[in-house]
């Protein structure tokens, strides 16, 4: 995660350091393809199917609506839940930089808001307050998060789009039960409350 945040940050800083006036190209691109549908890549490794829909507006802004479903079941754990969120984006003008088969389109920043629900069942018990508790432990976690992200858009073959962003914010989590496993309080754990980094990579198409 730290390497992903550092690499993406360097790319974004480099792109912002050499701005170009591409407002006419940006307006043309928005008129042709005012919408995008994208699928999350990192979320697949977290047992989550994640989708984003984005609509672009002529004033260099965009609105992203996101949603996802988490599902995992094995011999020691069961997870089921969903998430949704909104993100408002303020875009720079077109960057128009070609890199092999890819084109750097433009950079953006903006606030995000997310709501997540997750039902977790530990079938073989868990450590709670450094004490091993046997048996089945079930809990439901509801998380609200908000913060700021900065990112870049790349495209290929005109209508294929790649979207990468990093940022951070604050999240608050509420648990339905008092018994919360110790691992759930890690910074990327399901019960974590506090300041947290975020990173996301999605791919899809314009239409």
Which CATH number is 65's domain given?
2.40.160
Cα-Cα end-to-end distance for the chain: 31
- 58 DSSP assignment: T
Residues 6+ apart with CB under 8 A from 50: 39, 40, 43, 66, 67, 68, 83, 202
66-89 pLDDT tens trace: 999 999 999 999 999 999 999 999
120-179 pLDDT tens trace: 999 999 999 999 999 999 999 999 999 999 999 998 888 999 999 999 999 999 999 998
Q: How confident is the model at residue 33 (pLDDT cuts 50, 70, 90)?
A: confident
Q: How far apart are CA 31 and CA 37, in angstroms?
A: 16
- Average pLDDT (99-116) is 87
How many domains does the chain contain in total? 1
92, 96, 95, 107: which is closest to 164 by C-alpha? Answer: 107
Write out the residue range of the structural domain in which residue 111 sits: 2-206
């Amino acid at each position: 995660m730290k390497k992903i945040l550092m690499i993406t940050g360097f790319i974004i800083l480099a792109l912002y350091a050499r701005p170009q006036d591409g407002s006419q190209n940006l307006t043309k691109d928005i008129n042709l393809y005012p919408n995008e549908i994208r699928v999350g890549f990192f979320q697949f490794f977290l047992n989550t199917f994640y989708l984003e829909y984005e609509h672009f507006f002529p004033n260099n802004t965009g609105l992203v609506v996101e949603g996802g479903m988490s599902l995992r079941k094995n011999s020691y754990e069961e997870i089921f839940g969903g998430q949704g969120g909104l993100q408002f984006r303020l875009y720079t003008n077109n960057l128009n930089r070609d890199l092999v088969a890819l084109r750097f389109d433009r950079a953006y920043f903006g606030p995000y808001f997310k709501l997540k629900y997750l039902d977790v069942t530990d079938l073989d018990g868990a450590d709670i307050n450094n004490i091993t508790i046997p048996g089945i432990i079930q809990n439901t976690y509801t998380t609200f998060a908000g913060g700021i992200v900065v990112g870049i858009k790349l495209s290929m073959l005109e209508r294929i789009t790649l979207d990468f962003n990093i940022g951070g914010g604050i999240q608050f989590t509420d648990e339905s039960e008092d018994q919360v496993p110790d691992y759930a309080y890690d910074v990327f754990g399901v019960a974590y409350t506090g300041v947290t980094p975020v990173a996301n990579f999605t791919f899809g198409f314009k239409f």
